[in-house]
Amino acid sequence: MNNNILAKVIQDLNVGIVVVDSSYHVIVWNQFMEKHSNIKREAVTGKELFESFPYLPKDWLDLKLRSVFMLKNFSFTTWKQRPYLFKFYHHRPITGSSEFMYQDCVFLPVLDTETSANYACIVVQDMTDIALYEQKLEELKEINETLQQLSQYDVLTSAFNRRYFETQVEKEFSKSKRHGNDFAVVLLDIDFFKKVNDTYGHPAGDEVLKHVVKIASNMLRTSDVFARYGGEEFIMLLTETKFENAQIVSDRIRQRIEESVAVYKNQEIKVTISLGLSRFRPTLKDYLQLVNEADVALYKSKTEGRNRLSIYKEED
């Protein structure tokens, strides 16, 4: 190929081409490099690279170039490893990202067959659009994960919501059907909650709801689920829990709430809860039966005086 044609191609490529000799003096500085550095090739050709660009990472770049000269092999680095080599402004909206062009760089050995001289070529590719796109995707992923997590919680109390509970109890039911694990569902209701609202006001009632959630949640394992089921009614999923242990945990929560007080504007508000417990059996058709049974047991607690735990029995 005609050398003039080859030189023209190198100059017009939409990537940076820099060729240096073994002393790092610049031999080739193409149009891409001129445009983004605002330095004409006449001003940089023949000069040592680090003299013209003192900000370059000298130790790191020296190691890269020496390996090219000694091993006669190529090397490369991506924008993910090192965002940029040359500080070129990218002229895109910054939006929190680097103000400099993201770059992939390839380091190639070049042999002048006529003089047997060795050179190293640095190829600089603008990766800014790809980098910004990937960063935006990562931001969107984080936002979606946050929204997904927020969608699992009740806004007022920060307990899990009913939809999340139903998803988890269905999984637990299927798992127990396959492996025979024990688990329990407990439905609980704040006693005389309407009286709290009527006496102290709805903001105080909200504080009572948060108070109950805080106590109960702190007494459960991370594998358990405590969710707001509706109004002043909550539901617990006690995963992989023996029936006797489920009773103990549920009644301890009841006792702890009875012994505590919720505080709203320096007013101490005492409340109690009623609970109904049902346990998994292999003969059950689906998790809805468990919830219905817990509801039957809860109704029994209410009719028998409240502030108590009732266990579902089939004769009920």
Rounded to 5°, angle at Cα 304 from 301 and 309: 30
- Domain with 77 in it: what CATH number? 3.30.450.20
Task: Please check whether residues 182 and 116 belong to one and the same domain.
Answer: no
108 lies in some domain: yes
Selection from 260, 273, 250 nearest residue 192 by Cα = 273
143 lies in some domain: no
Q: Token match 């219905």: residue?
A: 292
Q: Which residues are catalytic?
A: 232
| Residue 47: exposure state from Cβ atoms within 10 A (0-12, 13-18, ≥19) | middle
207 lies in some domain: yes
| Residue 243: exposure state from Cβ atoms within 10 A (0-12, 13-18, ≥19) | middle
94 lies in some domain: yes
Identity of the residue numbered 41:
R
269 lies in some domain: yes
- Supply the pLDDT for residue 142: 87
Give 270-290 pLDDT, tens digit per residue.
999 999 999 999 999 999 999
Task: Please check whether residues 256 and 168 belong to one and the same domain.
Answer: yes
Please compute the mean of the pLDDT values over residues 145-170 and round it to a whole number: 90
Domain that holds residue 301: 149-311
- Domain with 230 in it: what CATH number? 3.30.70.270
pTM: 0.62
Task: Please check whether residues 160 and 236 belong to one and the same domain.
Answer: yes
CB 220 within 8 A of CB 239: no
Other residues' Cβ atoms within 10 Å of the Cβ of residue 3:
7
- The helix/strand/coil state of 195 is helix
Give 128-157 pLDDT, tens digit per residue.
999 888 888 888 888 888 787 778 999 899
Q: Is the pLDDT of residue 1 over 50?
A: no
140 lies in some domain: no
248 lies in some domain: yes
Domain final position from 73, 97, 129: 129
Task: Please check whether residues 273 and 153 belong to one and the same domain.
Answer: yes
Mean pLDDT over each residue of the chain, to the nearest integer: 91
DSSP code, position 101? P
142 lies in some domain: no
The structural domain count of the chain equals: 2
CB 86 within 8 A of CB 36: yes
- Supply the pLDDT for residue 94: 57
Please compute the mean of the pLDDT values over residues 74-85 and round it to a whole number: 92
